[in-house]
Each structure stands twice: as C-alpha cells, then as structure tokens.
C-alpha cells in the first residue's frame, strides 16, 4: 500500500477533501477551460499588434514597436510575485476574479486607440490579467492534484493555455488578412474576456485548503537544508527570504528561474521581431499567422506528453534538452530563409518549449514546501516573465543597430547557454530519480 495514499485517506475522512486529479476532475476541468480563455487573451496580440505599429502608426524603430511587450513583461513579472503571495492570504479564487476584471478593457482599448501609448497601457492591463489569472490556474491545479500527478496536471494547464494562444494567433491573422488589422480581430477578445470573468465568478471554487491538507503530509524540502535554515522556519519565511532562496541561494531554484527567464526572453523576441522579420521578406499576414501559430500550438499540445514524462524520467534533462532544441529552432529561422524551413523551425521551438515549460513548474513544486510553494512559484514566474521585457528590449535594440537577423542570433546563443547551465549545475529534483 502506498503510504501517501493511506495518509491522504485518513486526513480526507476528517476534512472532507481529497487530493488527486480524478478526485477533483470537475473543478480541474473548469480550470483547464479557464486557462484556455487566458491563453486566448494573450494570443490576440501575437501577430497583429506589431504589424499595427509598423503599418498603421508608421513606427520605424523596432525598439519603439516592441515597447508594448516591455510594458506587458514588466507588469506581468511584478504582479506574478505579489499575486502568488496574495493568494496565500486572500485566497486563489478572489485573485482569479480580480484578474479577469482588470483584463476586460484590453480589447476595447486596442480597438479605439489613436496613439501608440494606448497599446502600452492596454498591455499593462493585459500583464496584470495574465499574471493573476494564469498564476492562479497553475497554483489551483497544483493544490488540487497533490504531488503524485503534478507533472501531468501542469502539462494539461500549459497545454490548454498555449493551444489557445496558437489558435487565437492563427485566427486573428486570418481575420486580419480578410478584413483589416483592427477592429475585427479584437471582437473575439471581447467575448473571451466576458466568458473568463463569468466562469471564474460563478463556478470557480477556492483551493487553498487543499494545499493545507498537503502540507500536513509533506516532508522537509531540500532548500531548507541547503540554505542552512530550520525547515519549519523555511515554511513560514518572508517574501524577501523566499525571493532570495528562489533567485540565487538554492542552485536548483536558481537554475529553474534563469531557464524560465531565458525561455520567455526568446518568446519576447519571437512576439515582437518575428512578424516584422517575416513581413520584411515578403510574407503576408495569413502566412505569418500560420508560422506564429505552429510554435505555441506544438508547445501546447506536446505538454500533455512532456508533463507526465517528467514525472517518470525526471526534470533536469528535459529542461536542458528543451533549451538546446529551442536554440536550434531559432538558429534555423535565420540560417535558411525559406517558408518550409520556418515551419520546421517553429516546430522545433515548440518542441523545445514543451519540454521545458511544465517541467520547470513541476521542478519548482518538487522543491518548495506546500506552505510557501505559491510564493516560490510567484518568484519563479517573476523572473520567467521578466524575460518577455528583457527579450523584447534586447532584440529591439540589436535590431535597430545591427538588424533583425543579428537580434535573432543573439537570442539563440543565450538560449543555448541557459540549457548548458542546467545540464552542468542543476540537480535532479524528482524524488526517486536523483
């Protein structure tokens, strides 16, 4: 008999709740649907907005065009940090609902904006929406399933979100090719925002008490000992202490944080530079939309496999290998300027990110104690999503001075170096695979 199952059954008898995917399939499925809507909000901008900056507003500077990604990335990173901490006191569901309320004006602002600064403001709101809503769907799923199926659960979460990003990128590109860059593609966003708000307000349930149940079964985690602190005090550390632990004190958490940052750094470059790069080589909006949709679609679909694979084979080598595969896909984009090569490159980038994304979340959950897991995940997501801003800014500046090809190549090098760091410095986090 599995001792974890026995302990869970004993506690669930008195508390009325049980950890597990099957035991909480209804609420888990609702959170999967909710994250699909969160992903659709992000997918609205993946193709169309950079082209609006260039074609409607006449922006020449690539740094100016990608400014909306910088505002998005910085806002989302900061809000990730505090949303996770807030969810430990105010509750997960409240934070989820607030995130949808803040995201509601975004499509309206983009439709009616007459100055580029309004796009920056809309992306501040979108950053808050994505931070609060995506963070909560991740944390709430981790609460519900417990430790045994966490890779599968987080793989399903990221699958739903990024399949939705890819689909929405493709459909908005198609709509823009048939009608115009705006307003038609953003009518979809109005329906998505209202649906997300109503679903969260009326049907989502609080999950914080599931984390409390898991905490009663949890053994002291590695970072508490690695940092020389008492495990009990590590469970109740301040935000400052947890930030230091997840950012540089613990080698595994640092490896995860830097890999997450670089992974979104290359996504920030892809978001801002790829549409302009492909357009400069003569591709139309619909063809760009197809390339840009393949990356998140492959990334999303394959996470259903890579998440549970990490539960069986371990986290470290999936992360390291995924970063290296992604670097190869980025290089292929500039080395062979042909449509079929760009399709293959997008697939490679999707495969690489699918190997990395749910596995990093699972590795963080392996290391962090349940009582400070949400805060630790918030610190990781702070660094990860700061990568959007850093990637957009670096690639925009390099593109202005050296060209878009150079910007893409620099990001490929950074991605390769990040994977090598994980290979040589990170330890395996999955119990039984160390």
Distance separating alpha carbons of residues 36 and 296, to the nearest angstrom: 12
Q: Is the dihedral of CA 142, 169, 333, 399 positive or negative?
A: negative
Q: For position 237, what pLDDT does the model report? A: 61
Cβ-contact 303, 402 below 8 angstroms? no
| Residues 340 and 285: beta-carbon distance below 8 Å | no
Q: Which residues of 28-56 are buried (b: 16+ CB within 10 A; e: fewer)?
A: bebbbebbbbbbbbbbbbbbbbbbbbbee
- State how far the Cα of 220 lies from the Cα of 199, in Å rounded to an integer: 37
Sequence-distant (≥ 6) Cβ neighbours of residue 179 within 8 angstroms: 185
pLDDT of residue 221: 45
Quick one: 250 exposed, middle or buried, by C-beta within 10 A (0-12, 13-18, 19+)? buried
Tokens 């590695």 — which residue?
222
pLDDT of 338 reads 92
For residue 128, the 8-state DSSP code is: H
The pLDDT, as a whole number, for residue 52 is 94
pTM for this one? 0.81
- Would you state the pLDDT for residue 218? 56
> Which residues, 6 or more positions from 95, have their beta carbon under 8 angstroms from its beta carbon?
83, 86, 87, 132, 135, 136
Spans of the chain, pLDDT less than 70: 1-16, 217-237, 432-434
Q: How far apart (Å, rounded) are the C-alpha atoms in residues 101 and 217?
A: 36
- Note the helical H segments in 104-207: 106-112, 116-145, 150-178, 184-202
Q: Closest Cα partner for 253 from 342, 143, 376?
A: 376
Handedness of CA 16, 35, 254, 78 (dihedral sign): negative
């Amino acid at each position: 008999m599995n001792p974890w199952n026995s302990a869970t059954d004993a506690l669930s008898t008195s508390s009325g709740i049980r950890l597990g995917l099957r035991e909480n399939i209804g609420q888990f499925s609702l959170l999967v649907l909710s994250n699909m809507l969160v992903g659709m909000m992000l997918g609205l901008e993946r193709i169309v907005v950079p082209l609006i900056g260039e074609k409607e507003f006449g922006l020449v500077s690539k740094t100016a065009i990608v400014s909306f990604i910088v505002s998005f990335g910085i806002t989302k990173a900061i809000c990730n940090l505090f949303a996770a901490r807030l969810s430990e006191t105010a509750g997960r569901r409240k934070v989820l609902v607030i995130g949808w309320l803040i995201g509601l004006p975004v499509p309206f602002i983009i439709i009616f904006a007459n100055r580029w600064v309004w796009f920056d403001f809309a992306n501040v709101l979108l950053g808050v929406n994505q931070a609060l809503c995506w963070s909560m769907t991740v944390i709430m799923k981790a609460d519900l399933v417990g430790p045994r199926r966490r890779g599968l659960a987080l793989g399903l979460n990221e699958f739903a979100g990024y399949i939705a990003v890819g689909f929405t990128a493709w459909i908005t590109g198609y709509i823009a090719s048939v009608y115009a860059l705006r307003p038609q593609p953003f009518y979809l966003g109005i329906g998505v925002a209202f649906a997300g708000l109503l679903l969260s307000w009326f049907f989502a349930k609080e999950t914080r008490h599931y984390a409390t149940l898991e905490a009663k079964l949890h053994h002291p985690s590695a970072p508490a000992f690695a940092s020389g602190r008492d495990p009990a005090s590590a469970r109740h550390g301040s935000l400052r202490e947890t930030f230091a632990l997840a950012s540089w004190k613990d080698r595994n958490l640092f490896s995860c944080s830097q890999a997450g940052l670089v992974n979104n750094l290359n996504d920030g470059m892809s978001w801002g530079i790829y549409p302009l790069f492909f357009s400069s080589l003569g591709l139309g909006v619909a063809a760009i939309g197809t390339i840009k949709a393949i990356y998140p679609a492959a990334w999303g679909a394959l996470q259903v496999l890579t998440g549970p694979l990490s539960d069986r084979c371990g986290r470290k080598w999936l992360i390291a290998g995924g970063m290296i595969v992604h670097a190869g896909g980025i290089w292929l984009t500039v080395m062979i300027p042909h449509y079929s090569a760009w399709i293959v490159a997008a697939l490679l980038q999707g495969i690489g990110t699918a190997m990395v994304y749910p596995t990093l979340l699972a590795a963080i959950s392996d290391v962090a104690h349940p009582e400070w897991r949400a805060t630790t995940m918030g610190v990781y997501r702070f660094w990860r999503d700061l990568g959007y801003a850093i990637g957009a800014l670096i690639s925009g500046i390099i593109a202005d001075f050296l060209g878009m090809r150079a910007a893409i190549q620099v990001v490929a090098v950074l991605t390769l170096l990040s994977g090598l760091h994980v290979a040589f410095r990170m330890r395996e986090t999955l119990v039984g695979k160390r």
